[in-house]
Structure 1
Amino acid sequence: MQNILIVAHESPYGSEKLFNALRIAIALKEQETEVINLKIFLMSDAVYGAVKNQVTPDLSYNIQQMLDILIAQSVPVSLCKTCTNGRGVSQEMLIEGANIGTLGKLTQWTLDATKIMHI
Protein backbone atom coordinates (compact mmCIF):
# COMPACT_ATOMS: atom_id res chain seq x y z
CA MET A 1 0.00 0.00 0.00
CA GLN A 2 1.21 3.48 -0.84
CA ASN A 3 0.60 6.09 1.83
CA ILE A 4 0.73 9.48 0.12
CA LEU A 5 0.77 12.70 2.12
CA ILE A 6 0.24 16.08 0.47
CA VAL A 7 1.33 19.04 2.61
CA ALA A 8 0.19 22.34 1.12
CA HIS A 9 1.37 25.79 2.17
CA GLU A 10 0.18 28.11 -0.61
CA SER A 11 -2.81 30.43 -0.58
CA PRO A 12 -5.82 28.91 -2.36
CA TYR A 13 -6.09 31.69 -4.93
CA GLY A 14 -2.77 33.57 -4.78
CA SER A 15 -1.16 31.02 -7.08
CA GLU A 16 -2.23 27.77 -8.67
CA LYS A 17 -0.05 25.59 -6.44
CA LEU A 18 -2.85 24.42 -4.14
CA PHE A 19 -5.18 23.98 -7.13
CA ASN A 20 -2.62 21.76 -8.87
CA ALA A 21 -1.93 19.77 -5.71
CA LEU A 22 -5.64 19.02 -5.40
CA ARG A 23 -5.83 18.13 -9.10
CA ILE A 24 -3.12 15.55 -8.46
CA ALA A 25 -4.96 14.28 -5.38
CA ILE A 26 -8.21 13.86 -7.33
CA ALA A 27 -6.34 12.09 -10.15
CA LEU A 28 -4.76 9.71 -7.62
CA LYS A 29 -8.18 8.88 -6.19
CA GLU A 30 -9.49 8.20 -9.71
CA GLN A 31 -6.95 5.41 -10.21
CA GLU A 32 -8.48 1.95 -10.39
CA THR A 33 -6.59 0.74 -7.35
CA GLU A 34 -7.22 0.33 -3.66
CA VAL A 35 -3.54 0.54 -2.76
CA ILE A 36 -3.39 4.33 -2.42
CA ASN A 37 -4.02 5.85 0.99
CA LEU A 38 -4.07 9.63 0.59
CA LYS A 39 -4.01 12.36 3.26
CA ILE A 40 -3.92 16.15 2.94
CA PHE A 41 -2.52 18.56 5.51
CA LEU A 42 -3.02 22.31 4.98
CA MET A 43 -0.56 24.78 6.51
CA SER A 44 0.13 28.53 6.30
CA ASP A 45 -2.30 30.32 3.97
CA ALA A 46 -3.48 27.02 2.48
CA VAL A 47 -5.82 26.72 5.49
CA TYR A 48 -8.08 29.26 3.78
CA GLY A 49 -8.83 26.62 1.15
CA ALA A 50 -11.02 24.72 3.62
CA VAL A 51 -13.14 27.73 4.59
CA LYS A 52 -16.76 27.14 3.54
CA ASN A 53 -18.95 29.32 1.30
CA GLN A 54 -16.21 30.33 -1.14
CA VAL A 55 -17.30 32.47 -4.07
CA THR A 56 -14.91 32.49 -7.03
CA PRO A 57 -16.77 34.14 -9.93
CA ASP A 58 -13.67 34.93 -12.03
CA LEU A 59 -11.97 31.55 -11.71
CA SER A 60 -12.57 28.27 -13.44
CA TYR A 61 -11.97 26.35 -10.21
CA ASN A 62 -13.12 26.36 -6.61
CA ILE A 63 -10.79 24.94 -3.96
CA GLN A 64 -13.66 24.24 -1.56
CA GLN A 65 -15.40 22.08 -4.17
CA MET A 66 -12.19 20.17 -4.84
CA LEU A 67 -11.71 19.47 -1.13
CA ASP A 68 -15.39 18.43 -0.88
CA ILE A 69 -14.78 15.86 -3.64
CA LEU A 70 -11.76 14.45 -1.82
CA ILE A 71 -13.49 14.36 1.56
CA ALA A 72 -16.43 12.53 -0.04
CA GLN A 73 -13.87 9.93 -1.18
CA SER A 74 -12.75 9.48 2.46
CA VAL A 75 -9.53 11.49 2.11
CA PRO A 76 -8.63 12.95 5.51
CA VAL A 77 -8.07 16.72 5.36
CA SER A 78 -6.45 18.34 8.36
CA LEU A 79 -5.35 21.92 9.01
CA CYS A 80 -2.46 23.21 11.10
CA LYS A 81 -3.80 24.45 14.45
CA THR A 82 -1.11 27.12 14.81
CA CYS A 83 -1.80 28.35 11.27
CA THR A 84 -5.59 28.49 11.75
CA ASN A 85 -5.25 30.25 15.11
CA GLY A 86 -2.87 32.82 13.63
CA ARG A 87 -5.35 33.58 10.84
CA GLY A 88 -8.51 33.64 12.95
CA VAL A 89 -9.90 30.50 11.32
CA SER A 90 -12.07 28.35 13.59
CA GLN A 91 -13.52 24.85 13.17
CA GLU A 92 -16.98 26.39 12.65
CA MET A 93 -15.70 28.23 9.56
CA LEU A 94 -14.53 25.03 7.85
CA ILE A 95 -16.22 22.77 5.34
CA GLU A 96 -17.67 19.56 6.70
CA GLY A 97 -15.00 16.89 7.01
CA ALA A 98 -12.02 19.23 7.32
CA ASN A 99 -10.57 19.30 10.82
CA ILE A 100 -8.03 21.32 12.70
CA GLY A 101 -5.10 19.10 13.60
CA THR A 102 -1.83 19.37 15.41
CA LEU A 103 1.83 19.08 14.61
CA GLY A 104 1.64 15.67 16.28
CA LYS A 105 -0.88 14.52 13.66
CA LEU A 106 1.30 15.83 10.84
CA THR A 107 4.30 14.09 12.40
CA GLN A 108 2.46 10.76 12.55
CA TRP A 109 1.16 11.14 8.99
CA THR A 110 4.72 11.92 7.86
CA LEU A 111 6.12 8.84 9.58
CA ASP A 112 3.39 6.68 8.03
CA ALA A 113 3.83 8.11 4.51
CA THR A 114 5.69 6.29 1.76
CA LYS A 115 5.54 9.42 -0.43
CA ILE A 116 5.27 13.08 0.57
CA MET A 117 4.49 16.06 -1.64
CA HIS A 118 5.17 19.57 -0.31
CA ILE A 119 3.40 22.25 -2.28
Structure 2
Amino acid sequence: MTSILLVAHDSPYGSEKLYNALRIALAMQEHADQPIQQKLFLMSDAAVAALSGQQTPDLSYHIGQMLEILLAQGVKVSVCRTCAEARGLSQERLIEGVTIGTLVELTHDTLAADKVIHI
Protein backbone atom coordinates (compact mmCIF):
# COMPACT_ATOMS: atom_id res chain seq x y z
CA MET A 1 0.00 0.00 0.00
CA THR A 2 1.36 3.41 -0.96
CA SER A 3 1.40 6.01 1.80
CA ILE A 4 1.07 9.67 0.91
CA LEU A 5 1.53 12.64 3.22
CA LEU A 6 0.07 15.94 2.08
CA VAL A 7 1.25 19.02 4.00
CA ALA A 8 -0.76 22.18 3.34
CA HIS A 9 0.22 25.70 4.36
CA ASP A 10 -2.13 28.13 2.61
CA SER A 11 -5.33 29.70 3.94
CA PRO A 12 -8.62 28.01 3.07
CA TYR A 13 -10.04 31.02 1.28
CA GLY A 14 -8.24 33.82 -0.52
CA SER A 15 -6.37 31.61 -2.95
CA GLU A 16 -7.19 28.25 -4.43
CA LYS A 17 -4.05 26.43 -3.26
CA LEU A 18 -5.69 24.57 -0.37
CA TYR A 19 -8.83 23.94 -2.41
CA ASN A 20 -6.74 22.33 -5.16
CA ALA A 21 -4.71 20.34 -2.63
CA LEU A 22 -7.95 18.87 -1.27
CA ARG A 23 -9.18 18.19 -4.79
CA ILE A 24 -5.98 16.22 -5.42
CA ALA A 25 -6.42 14.30 -2.16
CA LEU A 26 -10.04 13.46 -3.03
CA ALA A 27 -9.07 12.36 -6.54
CA MET A 28 -6.33 10.12 -5.19
CA GLN A 29 -8.79 8.49 -2.79
CA GLU A 30 -11.35 7.91 -5.51
CA HIS A 31 -9.20 7.00 -8.51
CA ALA A 32 -6.09 5.23 -7.24
CA ASP A 33 -5.38 1.94 -9.01
CA GLN A 34 -4.37 0.40 -5.69
CA PRO A 35 -5.27 1.13 -2.07
CA ILE A 36 -3.47 4.15 -0.64
CA GLN A 37 -3.05 5.51 2.85
CA GLN A 38 -3.27 9.29 2.92
CA LYS A 39 -2.54 11.71 5.73
CA LEU A 40 -3.17 15.45 5.63
CA PHE A 41 -1.30 17.84 7.92
CA LEU A 42 -2.55 21.43 8.03
CA MET A 43 0.04 24.05 8.97
CA SER A 44 0.24 27.85 9.03
CA ASP A 45 -2.98 29.46 7.78
CA ALA A 46 -4.25 26.10 6.50
CA ALA A 47 -5.00 25.26 10.16
CA VAL A 48 -8.06 27.51 9.97
CA ALA A 49 -9.58 25.19 7.36
CA ALA A 50 -10.39 22.70 10.13
CA LEU A 51 -12.51 25.19 12.08
CA SER A 52 -16.00 23.77 12.48
CA GLY A 53 -19.10 25.68 11.41
CA GLN A 54 -17.61 27.96 8.77
CA GLN A 55 -20.08 29.56 6.37
CA THR A 56 -19.04 30.13 2.79
CA PRO A 57 -21.63 32.32 1.05
CA ASP A 58 -21.29 32.75 -2.68
CA LEU A 59 -18.49 30.20 -3.03
CA SER A 60 -18.75 27.14 -5.23
CA TYR A 61 -16.79 25.02 -2.75
CA HIS A 62 -16.70 24.44 1.00
CA ILE A 63 -13.32 23.46 2.44
CA GLY A 64 -14.90 22.05 5.62
CA GLN A 65 -17.11 19.70 3.62
CA MET A 66 -14.11 18.55 1.60
CA LEU A 67 -12.27 17.74 4.84
CA GLU A 68 -15.31 15.84 6.14
CA ILE A 69 -15.38 13.74 2.97
CA LEU A 70 -11.69 12.91 3.32
CA LEU A 71 -12.21 11.97 6.97
CA ALA A 72 -15.14 9.71 6.00
CA GLN A 73 -12.84 8.03 3.47
CA GLY A 74 -10.35 7.21 6.21
CA VAL A 75 -7.83 9.98 5.61
CA LYS A 76 -6.14 11.12 8.82
CA VAL A 77 -6.37 14.93 9.09
CA SER A 78 -4.23 16.76 11.63
CA VAL A 79 -3.63 20.40 12.47
CA CYS A 80 -0.27 21.66 13.69
CA ARG A 81 -0.57 22.36 17.42
CA THR A 82 1.61 25.49 17.33
CA CYS A 83 -0.30 26.83 14.32
CA ALA A 84 -3.67 26.08 15.96
CA GLU A 85 -2.71 27.75 19.22
CA ALA A 86 -1.44 30.85 17.38
CA ARG A 87 -4.88 31.14 15.76
CA GLY A 88 -6.93 30.44 18.90
CA LEU A 89 -8.06 27.01 17.72
CA SER A 90 -8.71 24.26 20.24
CA GLN A 91 -9.76 20.64 19.70
CA GLU A 92 -13.36 21.54 20.60
CA ARG A 93 -13.53 24.08 17.76
CA LEU A 94 -12.32 21.69 15.07
CA ILE A 95 -14.33 19.57 12.64
CA GLU A 96 -15.12 16.22 14.22
CA GLY A 97 -12.40 13.72 13.45
CA VAL A 98 -9.62 16.27 12.93
CA THR A 99 -6.83 15.93 15.48
CA ILE A 100 -4.24 18.34 16.76
CA GLY A 101 -0.79 17.05 15.85
CA THR A 102 2.79 17.87 16.67
CA LEU A 103 5.97 18.35 14.69
CA VAL A 104 7.21 15.06 16.12
CA GLU A 105 4.17 13.29 14.61
CA LEU A 106 4.72 15.13 11.33
CA THR A 107 8.35 14.00 11.36
CA HIS A 108 7.34 10.36 11.88
CA ASP A 109 4.69 10.60 9.16
CA THR A 110 7.19 12.20 6.78
CA LEU A 111 9.78 9.49 7.33
CA ALA A 112 7.17 6.73 6.95
CA ALA A 113 5.53 8.13 3.81
CA ASP A 114 6.34 6.86 0.33
CA LYS A 115 5.50 10.29 -1.07
CA VAL A 116 5.31 13.72 0.55
CA ILE A 117 3.51 16.60 -1.14
CA HIS A 118 3.86 20.18 0.16
CA ILE A 119 1.34 22.73 -1.00
TM > 0.5 between the two? yes
TM-score range, shorter-chain basis? over 0.9
Match of 1:57 in 2: 57
Q: Is residue 115 from structure 1 mapped to residue 115 from structure 2 by the alignment?
A: yes
Counterpart for residue 4 of structure 2: 4
Which TM-score applies when normalising by structure 1? Answer: 0.96
In the other structure, the counterpart of 2:73 is 73
Cα distance in structure 1, aligned partners of 2:63 and 2:46? 10
Distance 2:9 2:58 in 1: 23
Give the drift of 1:35: 2.7
Q: Secondary structure at the match of 1:30?
A: helix
For residue 13 of structure 1, report the CA deviation from its aligned partner.
0.1
Between the aligned partners of 1:18 and 1:35, the Cα distance in structure 2 is: 24
Provide runs of 4+ in structure 1 moved above 4 Å. none
Measured in 2, the distance between the counterparts of 1:32 and 1:108 equals 24
For 1:88, the equivalent position in structure 2 comes to: 88
The alpha carbon displacement at 1:2 in A equals 1.2
Q: Counterpart of 1:101?
A: 101
The residue type paired with residue 57 of structure 1 is P
C-alpha distance after superposition, 1:21-65 (max 9, x if no partner): 000000001025443110000000000101011111111000000
TM-score w.r.t. the length of structure 2 is 0.96
User: When the two structures are aligned, how many residues end up with a matched partner?
Assistant: 119
RMSD after superposition: 0.9
Cα shift at 1:8: 0.2
Unaligned 5+ runs, structure 2: none
Identity rate, percent: 61
Distance 1:13 1:101 in 2: 22
Could you tell me how far apart the structure 2 residues matched to 1:112 and 1:67 are? 22
| Structure 1 counterpart of 2:22 | 22
